[in-house]
A = this chain, B = another copy of it.
Amino acid sequence: MKAELITIGDEILIGQIIDTNSAWMGQQLNLHGIEVYQVTSVHDNREHILKALADAEKDADLVLITGGLGPTKDDITKECLCEYFATELIYFPEVFEHVESLLSARNVTINQLNRDQAMLPASCTVLHNSVGTASGMWFERNGTIFVSMPGVPFEMEAIMTEEVFPRLIKLGILESIVHKTILTLGLPESMLAEKIEHWENALPNFIKLAYLPSALAVRLRLSAYGTDRALLETEIDKQVKELLTIIPENIFGFDDENMALVIGRILISTSKTLAVAESCTGGNIAHSITSNSGSSAYFKGGVIAYSNEIKIKLLDVPDEMIEIHGAVSQQVAEAMAIGAQKALNADYSISTTGIAGPDGGTAEKPVGTVWIAVAGPSGVKSEKFIFRHNRERNIIRSTQTALNLLRMLILNDIKE
């Protein structure tokens, strides 16, 4: 089964929005064993949309289309689908009722644009949109299934989950692909590749390995293809176990896990708590932690000490220390970590102080210089890093590195 995705909208091509829908659909289709053959992004333009539909029909068994279904004039997907499938828009009273009830719950008065959303192609199966006013549409022709959905991510996700997947499963569309992603930190891609070369070369030929480096991790993705799903899973598990013996320190998690989640799990199992004291990361460590649901079980909170005044007042960093060593120093980083541990009454703490950029760098402390400290029952540890990227990336790298230092400290405490 080959799937193709078509995303429609000028806003994607001029880069005003990032196409997260394709990633979500690719991921979900994969979990269901369907391979995405190609993603194509096209303009809100009749000829271009019709060409993309025709091209996709040649190659794909399933064509998922997003975008261009809003109530406004720039959205022309519905008209193009009518032309492509030689049908016409007709009025669906049940869709109108749904739009009406949804908008009245939001205290929005219905207008002609909303009314038009109940006009849908006569030959399609309407897919209910439980969270929005633009319905999905399902067409079939010459063995190819076409599904059109709105481009708003949570509306597309609702239609996929509630309408599209149940129908595809009912039709018996399934293929076995098993993926496992191993999250590593601490080794650059080429060193990692060298270290695991023998393991990689010994992989059975139905397992493929891919390297996916990012600011957060170098991820290794294993993909096994075949008919016997159970066998694929067993073989993948076996390979992962072997890899764990080769780079045990560097593997911090699997699949969709994130570093903060992994740390949270350890803290819950050991009944310990965590606090943060952030300067250059400006709240991003706390945000990474609290993005995981259930984090209130171990995360007490933190102090964002963006000014020296706050470092002194809320984290008890001595005035003179900042004067002598500067705010970006080992001494201040350690004092902040200890200060957070005390002020927030937590077992563990993380602190950051550095220069995220683009301004504020000096010859001695260039942009990207960050001191990170982690404190725990066994004491405080600190380390200096120079990331030399742009502001956004410096913040992300500082956050991830700080969390990893904490992970190492906690694991070390557990061992002892």
Write out the residue numbers on chain B whose beta carbons fall within 8 Å of the beta carbon of A307: 296, 299-301
Contact of A303 (CB < 8 Å), options: B18, B20, B314: B314
Verify if A234 is at the interface (C-beta below 8 Å from B): no
Interface of A, secondary structure class, is mixed
CA distance A268 to B415 in the complex (A): 50
Q: Mask for A23-38, Cβ within 8 A of B = 1, else 0?
A: 1111111100001111
A190:B301 contact, CB within 8 angstroms:
no
B300:A309 contact, CB within 8 angstroms:
yes
Known contacts: A27-B14, A43-B37. The answer to whether A391 contacts B291 by CB under 8 A is yes
Most buried by B among A28, A194, A309: A194
Contact of A36 (CB < 8 Å), options: B13, B30, B357: B13
B291:A304 contact, CB within 8 angstroms:
no
Tell me how far the C-beta of A242 lies from the nearest C-beta in chain B, rounded to whole angstroms. 18
Verify if A63 is at the interface (C-beta below 8 Å from B): no
Stretch of A166-174, A212-220, A404-412 with 4 or more beta carbons under 8 angstroms from chain B: A212-220
Verify if A247 is at the interface (C-beta below 8 Å from B): no
Write out the residue numbers on chain B whose beta carbons fall within 8 Å of the beta carbon of A379: none
Write out the residue numbers on chain B whose beta carbons fall within 8 Å of the beta carbon of A39: 12-13, 19, 39-41
Contact of A70 (CB < 8 Å), options: B14, B211, B390: B211
Q: How many copies does the complex hold?
A: 2
Which residues 371-416 in A have Cβ within 8 Å of B in the complex?
389-393, 395
Which residues 1-54 in A have Cβ within 8 Å of B in the complex?
9-20, 22-30, 35-44, 48
Tell me how far the C-beta of A409 lies from the nearest C-beta in chain B, rounded to whole angstroms. 21
B26:A13 contact, CB within 8 angstroms:
yes
Verify if A294 is at the interface (C-beta below 8 Å from B): yes
CA distance A28 to B181 in the complex (A): 32
Closest to A191 in B: B108
Write out the residue numbers on chain B whose beta carbons fall within 8 Å of the beta carbon of A23: 12, 15-19
Verify if A90 is at the interface (C-beta below 8 Å from B): no
Which residues 299-319 in A have Cβ within 8 Å of B in the complex?
299-307, 309-310, 313-314
